[in-house]
């Protein structure tokens, strides 16, 4: 009996780094005439360290919504999913930050485990203009409900990051992000590149 309890506890704690968790987004809503492709390199900082590569496609959906589709591999054998983001509160200069919430479903394969994740992702962000370009720092507290091996678990992180758009290159921007483990998750650092495409003319290098 004791051995079964010990095995169960070991499996639960070893699971903490087996779910795909990342934000790499601000609370701003994508322009209806564009779609974005974001590439991300994530470094997991835990006992079981590694790196993941992720690609995200985002397009507008109605007035206050966008659709995100993600796929990736690396430290995890495979992960993918889709989410809708609702952004009812816009960024108003000098008054208020932007606020949004995203919800989606994700599938991860790691160490021969099939993991299904339901995710809710509130985000708050604010743009700041500078001599070098526009910085948009953001923060999020993702809530993840995971199902694996007929078990369920809950994982969450505190995520902070920034989006930086250099003045001379309008359609090419940078992300940097740090995730702090709060419950059954992992610590990580990510950086990425966002490419903005016009739906009519494609990617324009400016």
Q: Tell the CATH superfamily of the 2-203 domain.
A: Autotransporter beta-domain (2.40.128.130)
Q: What is the chain's pLDDT, residue by residue, as a tens digit (206 residues)?
A: 444 433 343 344 444 445 678 899 999 999 888 899 999 999 998 767 889 999 999 999 888 899 999 999 998 889 999 999 999 999 998 789 999 999 999 999 987 889 999 999 999 999 999 988 999 999 999 999 999 888 889 999 999 999 999 888 878 899 999 999 998 888 999 999 999 998 877 776 66
The two structure tokens encoding residue 83: 């989410």
Q: What is the pLDDT of residue 10?
A: 39
Q: What is the pLDDT of residue 3?
A: 47
Q: What is the pLDDT of residue 8?
A: 40
Distance of CA 195 to the CA centre of its chain: 16
Which residues make Cβ contacts (< 8 Å) with residue 14, sequence separation at least 6? none
Q: What is the pLDDT of residue 47?
A: 65
Q: What is the pLDDT of residue 206?
A: 60
Question: Among 51, 24, 27, which residue's Cα sits nearest to residue 39?
Answer: 24
pTM, rounded to two decimals: 0.86
Distance (Å, whole) CA 49 – CA 188: 9
Q: What is the pLDDT of residue 18?
A: 55
Q: What is the pLDDT of residue 205?
A: 67
In our burial notation (b when 16+ CB lie closer than 10 A, e otherwise), range 68-81 reads bebebebbbeebbb
Q: What is the pLDDT of residue 204?
A: 67
């Amino acid at each position: 009996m004791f051995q079964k309890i010990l095995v169960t506890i070991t499996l639960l704690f070893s699971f903490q780094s087996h779910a795909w968790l990342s934000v790499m987004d601000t609370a701003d809503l994508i322009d209806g005439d564009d779609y974005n492709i974001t590439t991300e390199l994530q470094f997991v900082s835990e006992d079981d360290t590694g790196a993941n590569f992720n690609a995200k496609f985002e397009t507008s959906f109605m007035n206050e919504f966008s659709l995100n589709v993600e796929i990736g591999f690396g430290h995890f054998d495979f992960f993918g999913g889709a989410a809708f983001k609702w952004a009812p509160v816009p960024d108003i200069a000098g008054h208020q930050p932007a606020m949004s919430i995203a919800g989606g479903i994700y599938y991860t394969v790691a160490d021969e485990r099939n993991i299904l994740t339901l995710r809710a992702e509130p985000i708050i962000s604010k743009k700041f203009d500078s001599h070098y370009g526009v910085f948009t720092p953001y923060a999020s507290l993702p809530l993840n409900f995971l199902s694996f091996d007929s078990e369920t678990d809950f994982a969450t992180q505190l995520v902070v990051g920034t989006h930086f758009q250099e003045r001379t290159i309008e359609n090419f921007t940078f992300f940097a992000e740090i995730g702090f483990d709060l419950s059954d998750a992992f610590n990580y650092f990510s950086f990425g590149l966002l490419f903005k495409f016009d739906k009519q003319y494609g990617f324009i290098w400016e």
